[in-house]
Structure 1
Amino acid sequence: MTQPQHDAQTPNIPEDEAPEVSVEQRLAEQVELVSAELEQLRAQVLLERADLENQRKRLAREVENARRFANERLLAALVPVFDALEAGLASAPEADPLRNGVELTLRELTKATESNGLATVAPAPGDAFNPEHHQAMSVIDAPGVPGGAVAQVFQKGYLLNERLLRPAMVVVAKAD
């Protein structure tokens, strides 16, 4: 008859001499396990709450941006109308009765679009060139205008709720 082989790590202790684990020790071990699991679940719940809050904030931002820029295509389509009305005013004689009508139309159109977030980017000669709002068409020698500043405006630009819709097209003064 062969004797059972024992694992090298398992001590060879007869059953009647095995240390007994008390009920209190077993309960304490179970309480520790349950406490660890509870802490893990609490951490998971906190992470999920933070994730939901981030999603809620992101969705609110997206809804706000959609609301602010919903009319972007319409306002972008109206920009050439501004250009045409201003070109008409520039070529109309001062005493022309149609000029008053065009000025009134332009004023009303401007008021309506401004109330929807459209703002004009119209730098004056001598203003600093801003590459975020201006597009340089050329560079010229411009006496009396500091180098790197706007020397002439070809076309106004427009912002929609502080987002560039069309840059102002400008000529920049050459640096000395």
Structure 2
Amino acid sequence: MTQAEQPDPIPVANDEVSAATGETLSFNQPNDDQAQQIAELEAKIAELNDQFLRARAEMENVRRRAAEDVQAANKYAISRFASELLVVHDSLEMALSDTSGQFDTLKVGVDMTLKQLNSAFEKVNLVAIHPLGEKLNPHQHQAISMIEHEAEPNTVVHVMQKGYRLVDRVLRPAMVVVSKGRA
């Protein structure tokens, strides 16, 4: 059908009788069933709105608590390691307060303190990098010089300073001297 062939819509007034049912249609005043449905729907809308607001508030609370937890974790992450170092600190203070003048006693005390420090390092997965005899690894070693040596080229022949790795991240590369082979 073209637009010219379509019939004109029939206007219907609010209080006009419907041709099919013979009832009076009233859009201004709802009947009792419609009023009850409207009240039920409004109550359902209010309930859903309340649930939405509560869920939104709960989500904000969860987000805030998670942010606080992250902040606390960042702030106090080192506390476990720090508590391990307190024992080392106490031992060093005791060594400095020793007035006996006995070198052997001082050496034993320093050795015990070093063992305590190594134990603290182990507990937090802080591992020394001591690559003597290994191939140079630029991710873990820093070559500061090369010398002629009978070892294969780029082999660590001397460790100037140990490196350290925390779990799988290098904190400080080992400073090494590598061989450049025989000429």
Q: TM-score range by the shorter chain?
A: 0.5 to 0.7
Assess if the C-alpha contact under 8 Å between 1:128 and 1:150 holds in 2. Answer: yes
Identity %: 28
Q: Tell me if 1:172 matches 2:175.
A: no
Assess if the C-alpha contact under 8 Å between 2:121 and 2:127 holds in 1. Answer: no
Q: How far is the alpha carbon of 1:153 from its aligned partner?
A: 0.6
- Between the aligned partners of 1:152 and 1:126, the Cα distance in structure 2 is 8
Deviations 1:85-124 (A, max 9, x none): xxxxxxxxxxxx96x5675354123123224437562514
Give the CA RMSD over aligned residues: 4.4
- Between the aligned partners of 2:44 and 2:60, the Cα distance in structure 1 is 24
Deviations 1:50-88 (A, max 9, x none): 3144134314422441314548xx9xxxxxxxxxxxxxx
Q: How far is the alpha carbon of 1:30 from its aligned partner?
A: 0.5
Give the equivalent residue in structure 2 for 1:113: 117
Which of the residues 118, 131, 134 maps onto 2:141?
Answer: 134
Q: How far is the alpha carbon of 1:37 from its aligned partner?
A: 0.8
Which of the residues 23, 28, 47 maps onto 2:40?
Answer: 28
Deviations 1:146-176 (A, max 9, x none): 64x423211223467887664321123459x
Stretch of structure 1 that moved more, 39-48 or 166-175: 166-175
Give the equivalent residue in structure 2 for 1:67: 79
Deviations 1:126-149 (A, max 9, x none): 2244445432213445433464x4
SS in 1 for 2:67: helix
SS in 2 for 1:172: strand
Q: How far is the alpha carbon of 1:47 from its aligned partner?
A: 1.4
Letter in 2 for 1:109: T
Letter in 1 for 2:116: A
What does 1:1-176 correspond to in 2, within 5 Å? 13=13, 18-19=26-27, 20-21=29-30, 22-68=34-80, 70=82, 103-117=107-121, 121-145=128-152, 147=154, 149-158=155-164, 166-174=172-180
Larger Rg: 2
Assess if the C-alpha contact under 8 Å between 2:129 and 2:165 holds in 1. Answer: no
Letter in 1 for 2:176: V
Q: Structure 2 length normalisation: TM-score?
A: 0.52
